[in-house]
Amino acid sequence: MHATGKVVESDGRESSGASVAMYAEPDAKFLASMSVGDSYSPTLVGTATTDTAGNFTIDGAVTAGSQNLRFVASDLKGHATEWWEPEKANASLVLKLGSVSSAAVAGGAAIAKSNSISSTLMSSYVVNDIVGQLYSTTTGATGDFQYGSGATSELGVGVSLTGSVGGWTTSGTTSANSTLTIDFPQQASTSTWKKYFSSQWLYGKYKDVFSTCVKGYCSVDQIQYGARPIRFNGGAIVSEAASVPTTNPQYCAPYDPNSGVTADYGSSITWSNGVSIAAYIGINLSSKTGYSTSAKNACKFTKAVHLCGTGGVPSQGSGGSPNPYLIVVTP
């Protein structure tokens, strides 16, 4: 795994000489088997020290089945923890010491020398997560969303130093897969509709202990808490969206009566509050499910309509990027 990035201080200045460690998390099957009280230790797969511009590069061997990555950066002023998905590792990661976005705190001297992390599952919560959406401002269109087995969602991670409600902040995302094929209720052609499609995940509250271990003896450097997904539970929940997103005519394509289309390619939007976990930690977390053969919108039309994307035509996003974002049927 090749990862590059930058470490900066809370004021945005580059952090020269900061320590960065990359850990691989266990695979989905292992996490799904965990019960409250169980523990695991992520695998340290690479380390680096930032240059004078705060940049770092880590090359580490990630074993098959390691699903997500955890980065920890620290210097004498603070430390930051950020979660990252393997497919994103070639993108540039920014860890901001002392920032809310990277869940950092002052004082990184102790954690800089840590060489071991132990994560214990303290409690678990069933939460709803938006996995799809579909909108129609006209009659004559049916819509059917399917969230298939193996479909991948990017789910937000929370971090806290106390584990108390109100002390949590966001800290990156992890990949999590559906283990069921769920066909959501078909939306009728006799009415307009604006719908969110949600399923349920089991989230865990973990106690993460950073330690320095020498010849089997360990001393605790830092304790923090994390909220992250354990497993997919399933469920088909349809709710009403607040409004229909605005579309640009250049991102629309016409469809004649008795035609149809399946959107199974490209990216969807990131919902900043897609994971409804605020009742347990005080904030909601993000979610995103891209369109694929495992997560797709199928529409059929009984009259002439247009199918539009908010960030590009549903077949291809603007500028050659596969990003239709949200899909809307219009007259």
CB burial string 160-176: b at 16+ within 10 A, e below: beebeeeebbbbbbbbb
How far is 49 from 260, CA to CA, in rounded Å? 54
Q: State pLDDT tens for residues 35-59.
A: 999 999 999 888 999 999 999 998 8
Supply the DSSP symbol for 242.
S
pTM over 0.75: yes
How far is 38 from 13, CA to CA, in rounded Å? 40
Distance, CA of 40 to chain centre: 21
Domains annotated for the chain, with CATH where assigned, are 2-113 (2.60.40.1120), 125-203+230-330 (no CATH)
What is the full DSSP assignment across 48-83? EE--TTSEEEEE--PPTT---EEEEEE-SSEEEEEE
Distance, CA of 214 to chain centre: 35
Q: State pLDDT tens for residues 46-101.
A: 899 999 999 999 888 777 656 788 888 888 777 788 888 876 655 577 877 765 44
C-alpha distances (whole Å) from 4 to each of 7, 67, 140, 227 are 10, 18, 49, 25
Q: Which residues of the chain have pLDDT under 50?
A: 100-101, 104, 106, 317-320
Amino acid letter, residue 262: T
